[in-house]
Amino acid sequence: MNTNYDNRRDVLKYLYKGSSKLTRNWSQAYQDLFVLTMLDGKKKGKYLEIGANHPTDFNNCVLLETEYGWKGVSIDIEERFVNLFNTQRENKCELADGRTFDYVAAFKKKKWKTKQLDYLSLDCEPSMVTFSILKSLPLDEYRFSVITYEHDSYADGDTARDLSRKLLKKHGYQLVAADVCNGNNPYEDWYIDPNIVDEGRWRPFESQGAEARGLFI
């Protein structure tokens, strides 16, 4: 199900800097607009995208890159998507398994000096593989201001989802929107770093099992 925003018919509930100029988004379930709303339309941010998939269709970071000047590290395990991605996007994608990828080396290659990155998009399957990737991240060394985590509980059950929640809570992240639905399927959790995102921004999105479009429109 595609829930893209279209300013010809839609009105955003919550505005951020630059939102009046937005004509559309790309994410499947408004993940890109969640990031921009939480970070008040931040420009020149930094992202880590695991499971990049298609360079534009349902992509969580293309809007951040093309309209807001973000830079990122993107990886995917499927060569066909990586090849397509690298013909269409300025920020390139690496062919890699997220469970064994050297994230710290990739950040250093980008010459990122900050340990506070703006966005983590984790969109892989099946759910236990996604959790294995989460555990492999340098969470003790780097933090993310916003996280969208695909757990696919509607298909895979609650085990991996519950493990991911326990781990991210341990690292101090606030679960804002739990079991975000695309259509009728609960498949993602959305988090913020409460040390970075003001409560006034994330509190209106606090929900359980909400359909993504309804959070924004």
Question: Distance between CA atoms of 148 and 68, rounded to whole angstroms?
Answer: 19
Residues 197-215: tens digit of each pLDDT = 999 999 999 999 999 999 9
Q: What is the pLDDT of residue 4?
A: 83
3-state SS, residue 157: coil
Q: What is the pLDDT of residue 1?
A: 46
Q: Report pTM.
A: 0.96
Residues 92-138: tens digit of each pLDDT = 999 999 999 999 999 999 999 999 999 999 999 999 999 999 999 99
Q: What is the pLDDT of residue 134?
A: 98
Q: What is the pLDDT of residue 142?
A: 98
Q: What is the pLDDT of residue 183?
A: 82
Architecture (CATH level 2) of domain 19-216: 3-Layer(aba) Sandwich (3.40)
For the chain, helix (H) and strand (E) counts, in that order, are 9, 8
Indicate whether 20 pLDDT > 90: yes
Other CB atoms within 10 A of residue 8 CB: 6
When pLDDT is cut at 50, 70 and 90, the band that residue 147 belongs to is very high
What string of H, E and C letters represents the secondary structure of 201-214? Answer: HHHHHCEECCEHHH
In the chain, DSSP assigns E strands to: 46-50, 71-76, 93-95, 116-122, 143-150, 174-182, 185-192, 207-208
Q: What is the pLDDT of residue 3?
A: 63
Q: What is the mean pLDDT of the chain?
A: 95
CA distances from 21 to 15, 28, 59, 102, 201 (A): 11, 20, 20, 37, 20
3-state SS, residue 19: helix
Q: What percent of the chain has pLDDT over 90?
A: 94
Residues 51-66: tens digit of each pLDDT = 999 999 999 999 999 9
Helix axes 159-170, 127-136, angle to 10 degrees: 20
Q: Retrieve residue 204's tokens.
A: 């209106």
Q: What is the pLDDT of residue 175?
A: 98
Indicate whether 76 pLDDT > 50: yes
